[in-house]
Amino acid sequence: MKPSNAPITGDTRLFAIVGDPIAQAKSPALFNQLFVDLGVNAVLVPLQIPSARLPVAIAGLKAFANLDGIVVTVPHKVAILEHLDLLGAHAQAVGAVNCMRRLADGRWEGEMYDGAGFVAGLHAQGLCSANWRVFLTGCGGAGKAVAHAMAGAGIAAIRLVDSQLHRQHELAEQLRAIHPRLHVSQGGVADAEHDLAINATPCGMAEGDPLPFAIDKLRPDAIVADLVMKPERTPLLAAAEARGHRIHLGRHLLENQAALVAAFFGAATSLQATPTHGEYP
């Protein structure tokens, strides 16, 4: 096993996570520990890239020959598409990515695992989503991924809300086309019909943010989930917990997609593992 204090050397493979803001990112700690556990000579670093600088920044990152992959977070999960050469199946369905890798021929491929991570996180907590009625606010990259994955997991209905109505409408049409048996509605509030209410917006990351949606009409047994990872207990989750709701933390999504993202990176990189661990991952 690579020791936790192993030095970065000239042959260390590089990975990055890009977003704005980036201080909330949990991926560096999670993936760097994963590299240690696997005996991999690699490091993942956080890079704050404002939206206006994304094209020049991504072009620059692609020029680093020893950079093998990038984790993509808010607000770049959709905008990054134009900087990719091809998309995996999940990314094609969702229209957004949360990771990208350099292929052997130099092209860059993007994929989306937010949805799979969220559903796996529910199952890891002993929650079965079949036949649930879901309220989702936020139809950006992560919200789209979660909606598609929840639909694939067998929920009965989903209500979509987004301040940018075109995103809400687009996601509704996508879900209706792919999952014709799913009841899809738009607008409205989280209320007694919902088994699960999800915040997939950045609201709650900054101090003083309002709640992304009201919870006073939810049933006592409804679950409230937030994709925001820092703070771990957002104002929404704190308010829901105070009302007696079961809450679902944002970190469950990340923790349950890490192995998927690591496998995606390892399938086409030149990561060097120690002999006792074989090829990464």
Would you name the residues annotated as active-site residues?
77
**What angle do the packed helices 251-266 and 27-38 form, to 10 degrees?**
50
Alpha helix (H) residue ranges in the chain: 27-38, 54-62, 89-94, 114-124, 141-152, 165-178, 235-242, 251-266
Q: What whole-number distance in Å separates Cα of residue 137 and Cα of residue 1?
A: 42
Assign 3-state DSSP to the chain and report helix, strand, coil percentages, each to 5.
35, 20, 45
Amino acid at 186: Q
Q: 3-state class of 172 per DSSP?
A: helix
For Cα atoms 269, 77, 117, give the angle at the middle one, nearest 5 degrees: 70
Q: What whole-number distance in Å separates Cα of residue 115 and Cα of residue 118?
A: 5
Q: 3-state class of 34 per DSSP?
A: helix
Q: What whole-number distance in Å separates Cα of residue 219 and Cα of residue 247?
A: 13
Q: Are the C-beta atoms of residues 73 and 18 closer than 8 Å to each other?
A: yes
List beta partners, residue 69: 15, 101
